[in-house]
Amino acid sequence: MPSPKSLVALLLLALAAPVAAGSPAAPTPSEAIREAVLSSMDRTVDPCDDFYRYACGGWLDKTELPADQARWTRSFSTIAERNRELVRELLESAAADPGPAGGERQQIGDFFAACMNEAAVEKAGTTPLAGPFERIAAIADARDLMAVAGALGRDGVNALLGAGRVPDFKNPGVYLFYLSQGGLGLPDRDYYLSEDPRKRELLGQYREHVTRMLTLAGSPAAAAEAEAIVAFETGLAKASRPRSEMRDRDRLYNKLDRDGLVKLTPGLPWAAFFEGAGHPEIVSINVAVPEFFSGLEQLVAATPIETLRAYLRWHVVRERAELLPAAFVDADFAFYGRALSGQAEIQPRWKRCVDQTGRALGEAIGKLWVEREFAGNSKQVAIEMIEDIEKAFEANLPNLAWMDDATRARAVEKARKVSNKIGYPDVWRDYSALAISRGDFFANVTAADRFEADRQLAQIGRPVDRNEWLMTPHTVNAYYMSTANEIAFPAGILQPPFFHRDHPAAMNYGAIGAVMGHELTHGFDDQGRKSDGDGVLREWWEPEVAAKFEAAAACVERQFSAFEVEPGVKVDGKLTLGENIADLGGLKQAFSAYQSWKERHGAPPPFAEGLTHDQLLFVSFAQVWCTEASPEFLRRQVVTDSHSPGSFRAVGAAMNLPAFRQAFSCEEGDRMVAAPTCTVW
């Protein structure tokens, strides 16, 4: 089967292409839209039995997983690929005509050009590793170790621990420094500790991979070092909390000053760490997992200095593999891409360079992308839809029997305080202090990482920037931020098949509307509910109501934990709980908002024979999650991702909604009628 063409590109072509003289008439927009939906379905399947196959069967039959992808979706992936191609055009144009020195066009053009210059990368060889390796070689004690770890973190190489800048959970108007568990080369602690045969095999392959990479980097004792490194990382894994337990925000809040940090772990010289990171002034710290740092302290004291040096060298090579010659790039892909994720082929260099440039200068690219791609009227339509979703959420609150009046009133207050960001920032990030050259890819990435680290760490103790976005404008995603009680929808997601002003309203509400409801519901899921309307982490629920919420959430956890990816591999209902609650609430609100839309605008004309607009809404929701993925990717996803696999997202939300059963005339006993039905929001 040939690789599928981008659905988005085909749809936009059908909508925008002029009619050529003497050729058959181009499809009308309604015909093109109808064909895109119906051709993705398998209407021979009973929707009450297998709704995912009903909504996605046609797409699944004609779609082959691209060789350079581990997962491919009808929605996110097709738009992201089109956006990437457009960004490539912008970057190639900037590289060919960079404009004035120091301008953003010069920065993105030269960054991309340096990345694409494979000959220069090959010529440089391992020379760029000399600087960090020299610092590592000079480590003689724990103070040196922490100083180098801080310096490497500033330069984009995270080792030993996780660190960054976040709003204070209980004073969200101010930033503080955040310390958490980290330091692993594998995606999760389970890969080190599980007795599952596949994970044991991957651990052995990882050990071989570390050996291979250290050998490429010039180590004469790579095999012995790799053995010691894996043992050290296994110690870090044992000190780490399971990923599902990292969802408890109350347990993650442990604010300390520098004296408290030293008291917690006197064997770790924190002054050296902050000096190495270039910010000795930091004093306001949250230690997310105190027991991890107690374990790290013991592990560092018990580990030979030679092993600690080897561990840091390994993490430099791991983080920087893509910036090095082809031998490193290929070896890195062979493990992380092929073995761990099931991706058949490495992506072409231009795709990797687009992504690297985006990580370094995302908003500079986003500004150009918005000027070219984002229509202002799309923003206004999206705002109107969000307002509909918010009204639907509030209107549903009196129907929740498990809520009392006092908690319901506070929930209304929080919902009304949610702020929405649509499209792109009002204030763009200033990159003028970042020096980029056309001749040194490795140095450019390091400079960009240091620029971003310094930008963030300089904000510790200062007011939170409410204009800041956590995603670039061309990102195909959305997010809810609990400390700000805000939702953001980048311009990148406001495209077909999620959204188009010419789509039937049912399609828009089922796709982007459900995403909007999903993000709003995050403010009230098992994590979001613990912050109030101002983003403050505090208990604002009556105890008996909180207990009823937990019981309702437990129903969702049990239901999703029963979904099986493959024999013996199931979804982690606890890890994915917040996302699953958000999916259920988002779809419910989208359907309710659409009913209000129909009351205002009247019944729309028929879409297709045998498919009502209410049914179309649910089909559009499910088609967001039409997915092809490798078995390796799915096995990794259930361990590391807080989102359930797409097929279970498509059915898990719908099967709990009475509106879905009514739309498709499903009956008790059908697979798409959950028993028991889970209702949270």
* CA separation for the pair 51, 43 (Å, rounded): 10
* CA separation for the pair 51, 125 (Å, rounded): 53
* CA dihedral of residues 655, 658, 660, 662 (deg, nearest 10): 130
Reply yes or no on whether 196 is catalytic: no
Per-residue DSSP letter, 567: T
* CA separation for the pair 578, 39 (Å, rounded): 32
* CA separation for the pair 562, 570 (Å, rounded): 7
Cβ-based burial of 523 (10 A; exposed 0-12, middle 13-18, buried ≥19):
buried
3 state SS for 445-464: HHHHHHHHHHHHHCCCCCEC
- Tokens describing residue 181: 């568990």
Q: At what angle do helices 305-320 and 222-239 cross, to 10 degrees?
A: 90
Q: Which of 322, 519, 526, 579 is catalytic?
A: 519
Cβ-based burial of 147 (10 A; exposed 0-12, middle 13-18, buried ≥19):
buried
- Element spanning 203, H or E: helix 197-216
Query: Which segments of 20-73 does DSSP mark as H helices, in order?
Result: 29-38, 51-62
* CA separation for the pair 217, 136 (Å, rounded): 14
Reply yes or no on whether 519 is catalytic: yes
* CA separation for the pair 318, 315 (Å, rounded): 5
Query: Which segments of 428-542 does DSSP mark as H helices, in order?
Result: 441-457, 505-508, 514-522
Angle, vertex CA 461, rays to CA 455 and CA 466, nearest 5: 65
Per-residue DSSP letter, 374: -
DSSP-assigned letters across all residues of 98-147? --STTSHHHHHHHHHHHHH-HHHHHHHTTGGGHHHHHHHHT--SHHHHHH
- Tokens describing residue 41: 């379905």
Buried b (16+ CB within 10 A) or exposed e, 647-675: bbbbbbbbbbbebbbebbebeeebebbbe
Residue labelled with tokens 């979904």? 563
Q: Would you say 75 and 93 are in contact if contact means Cβ atoms under 8 Å apart?
A: no
* CA dihedral of residues 481, 461, 253, 584 (deg, nearest 10): 0
How many Cα atoms sit within 13 Å of 20 on the Cβ side? 3
Instruction: Mention every residue, 6+ apart, whose C-beta is less than 8 A from residue 8.
Output: 78, 79, 82, 495, 496, 497
DSSP-assigned letters across all residues of 6-33? PHHHHHHHHHHPPPPTTSPPPPPHHHHH
Query: Which segments of 281-400 does DSSP mark as H helices, in order?
Result: 290-302, 305-320, 326-332, 340-341, 349-373, 376-396
Q: Would you say 174 and 463 are in contact if contact means Cβ atoms under 8 Å apart?
A: yes
Q: Is 440 left (phi over 0), alpha (psi -120 to 50) or beta?
A: beta
Q: Which of 144, 233, 583, 614 is catalytic?
A: 583
* CA separation for the pair 510, 499 (Å, rounded): 9
Please give the sequence-ordered ranges of beta strands (E in DSSP) within 407-497, or none if there are none. 419-423, 479-481, 486-490
Residues taking part in catalysis: 519, 583
